[in-house]
Amino acid sequence: MKLLISGLVKFLCGILLVGLPIFLPAGSLAFQCGWLFMGLLFVPVFILGIVLFIKAPHLLETRLNGKEKEATQKGVVALSGLIFLGGFIVAGLDFRFGWSNMPTAVTVIASVIFIISYGLYAEVMRENAYLSRTIEVQENQKVVDTGLYAIVRHPMYAVTVLMFLAIPLILGSWWAFLIFLPYPSIIAVRILNEEKVLSEQLEGYEEYKKKVKHRLVPFLW
């Protein structure tokens, strides 16, 4: 019951934290792209939360824990939050003042990419029961090297980069897209710090790095 209440409270808080900086600057609830994004974001989150609550409550509890211990990661989280807040506000203002003229096809394609990325995200969670929002090595944790983890070392981050770069396009704002563009660089910093922690604390991770060469993008990095 405690886990259920915690999950519902954070879900509702998430709706407010995302919805307010989008719709308040927009000055209207008629921001259709805003509602499209809210639906694409929170409907799958709600469904995934129910599935985890029933099938893997420990993983749900781990995912709800968002307190970073590493100083570098605290900075990454703070900077990411600023990017999201700024992007949402600009997207709302863009709708109000009509700064962007984004083709509907771009929004549709971005929405499809977002949904596919959500499916890949769920697959990553299925493969790796040790996933956490924070950088930590859990008790009895083992290296996962199958599925998407056999392609890149950090498939979850690869998927989230796709999702987050699609967000401003779903919201119909080129200006917000410019604000979101630094996000992959921030993720790169997070990955480098995370790999340092995993190499030091997780047995077999150095061997895994030799087996899977690329961190985020196959054949590039």
- Residues 94-143 pLDDT 10s: 999 999 999 999 999 999 999 999 889 888 887 876 665 555 555 557 78
Domains in the chain, CATH or no CATH each = 2-211 (1.20.120.1630)
Question: Could you tell me how far CA 215 lies from the centroid of its own chain?
Answer: 17
Q: Distance between CA atoms of 78 and 158, rounded to whole angstroms?
A: 20
**pLDDT tens readout for residues 144-185:** 888 889 999 999 999 999 999 999 999 999 999 999 999 999
Handedness of CA 123, 126, 132, 135 (dihedral sign): negative
**pLDDT tens readout for residues 62-91:** 666 655 566 667 778 888 899 999 999 999
Q: Distance between CA atoms of 85 and 93, rounded to whole angstroms?
A: 12
Q: Distance between CA atoms of 51 and 37, rounded to whole angstroms?
A: 22
Neighbouring CB atoms inside 10 A of 37's CB total 27
